[in-house]
């Protein structure tokens, strides 16, 4: 298996840069976030972010100076080590491994940027409504917006969610020009990557995050859907109206994957891409699948496969792998 260190392949626009936002602006800004109108009376100055990709959105926009700190599990994780914004991670305060009201209040936060299952959760009581009662504003990651069907998530294609968040954050922080620069750059990079598989057969791709009893994978509303499809493949579970979700092995076997895209993410059972590949190769029901027989495995860091500024480079890297056959 070829494990890609994603940082070397990423579009570096905005890396380590601070973009001056118009902090003197006093006019309120209203944006649409997860289907709701949200108004910010002033430019937030003490933002707390939860999760790596969310934090990198702030860094890509040059907004590290507007942050009180970030919450991620393990500051020395693969995601941080491979991040093109590692210097920003080093210079902004790591607040905790787990987000909570106490953490954000202790940081003096005036805004929390998180998402459902990316920090927000009814089970922990850490929700936009609970923070509103404390006088703390929130912005929700669009990839993780609830879509009205139970707790399923995703209201638009993943790349549209990325562009929506960049443009919304651009308005909130008065850095619209920087947001548009990033969006146009990513769109060009993705269009160029798409040419690599033009006219070639589209392989069936199984996104394997974790889980041995039941696999955790991606439906049509999470970032891997667009990473896979824009690179020239078909997501094995692209018919599921959800983002990250659990399926069953019987369906994986029936759908006969030709390529496996592994998330470099520790799950307690198999903590490295190599361990995950070894499990899949030793899983008897998959032994005759084209992916296992042909050893067609590819890996990317977790932060490259959730909504983040790494998505375009992930598409490029995966397209190159698929094009090599």
pLDDT attached to residue 4: 37
Pair (39, 155) in one structural domain: yes
Pair (104, 204) in one structural domain: no
Does the pLDDT of residue 196 top 50, yes or no? Answer: yes
pLDDT attached to residue 267: 84
**Residue range 106-122, pLDDT digits in tens:** 999 999 999 999 999 99
Q: Is 223 left (phi over 0), alpha (psi -120 to 50) or beta?
A: alpha
**Residue range 253-306, pLDDT digits in tens:** 999 999 999 999 888 889 999 999 999 999 999 999 999 999 999 999 999 999
Pair (184, 203) in one structural domain: no
Name the residue range of residue 292's domain. Answer: 197-323
Q: What is the mean pLDDT of residues 155-162?
A: 95
Asked if the structure places residue 131 within a domain, the reply is yes
Which segments of the chain are extended strands (E)?
A: 2-3, 29-33, 36-40, 47-50, 67-71, 94-96, 111-116, 119-120, 137-140, 204-208, 216-218, 234-235, 244-246, 259-264, 297-301
CATH of the domain at 203: 3.40.50.1980
Does the pLDDT of residue 134 top 90, yes or no? Answer: yes
Q: What is the pTM of this model?
A: 0.90
- pLDDT band for 203, please (50, 70, 90 cuts): very high
Asked if the structure places residue 2 within a domain, the reply is no
3-state secondary structure of 92: coil
Asked if the structure places residue 129 within a domain, the reply is yes
pLDDT attached to residue 96: 97
Asked if the structure places residue 160 within a domain, the reply is yes
Asked if the structure places residue 1 within a domain, the reply is no
Q: How would you class 68 by CB atoms within 10 Å of its CB: exposed for 0-12, middle for 13-18, buried for 19 or more?
A: buried
């Amino acid at each position: 298996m070829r494990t890609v260190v994603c940082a070397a392949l990423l579009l570096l626009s905005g890396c380590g840069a601070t973009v001056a936002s118009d902090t003197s602006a006093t006019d309120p800004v209203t944006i649409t976030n997860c289907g709701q109108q949200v108004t910010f009376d002033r430019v937030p100055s003490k933002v707390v972010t939860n999760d790596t990709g969310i934090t990198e959105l702030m860094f890509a926009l040059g907004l590290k100076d507007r942050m009180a700190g970030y919450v991620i599990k393990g500051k020395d994780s693969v995601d941080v080590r491979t991040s093109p914004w590692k210097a920003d991670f080093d210079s902004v305060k790591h607040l905790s491994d787990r987000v909570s009201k106490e953490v954000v209040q202790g940081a003096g936060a005036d805004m929390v940027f998180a998402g459902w299952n990316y920090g927000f959760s009814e089970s922990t009581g850490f929700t936009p409504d609970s923070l509103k009662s404390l006088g703390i504003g929130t912005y929700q990651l669009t990839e993780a917006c609830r879509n009205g069907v139970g707790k399923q998530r995703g209201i638009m294609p993943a790349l549209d969610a990325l562009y929506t968040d960049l443009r919304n954050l651009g308005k909130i922080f008065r850095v619209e020009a920087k947001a548009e620069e990033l969006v146009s750059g990513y769109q060009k990079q993705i269009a160029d990557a798409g040419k690599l598989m033009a006219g070639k057969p589209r392989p069936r791709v199984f996104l394997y995050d974790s889980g041995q009893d039941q696999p955790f994978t991606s439906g049509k509303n999470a970032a891997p859907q667009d990473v896979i499809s824009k690179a020239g493949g078909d997501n094995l579970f692209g018919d599921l109206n959800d983002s990250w979700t659990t399926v069953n092995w019987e369906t994986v076997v029936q759908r006969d994957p030709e390529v496996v895209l592994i998330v470099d993410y520790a799950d307690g059972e198999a903590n490295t891409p190599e361990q995950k590949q070894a499990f899949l190769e030793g899983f008897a029901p998959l032994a005759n699948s084209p992916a296992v027989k042909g050893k067609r495995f590819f890996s990317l860091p977790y932060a490259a496969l959730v909504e983040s500024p790494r998505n375009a480079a992930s598409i490029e890297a995966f397209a190159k792998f698929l094009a090599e056959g």
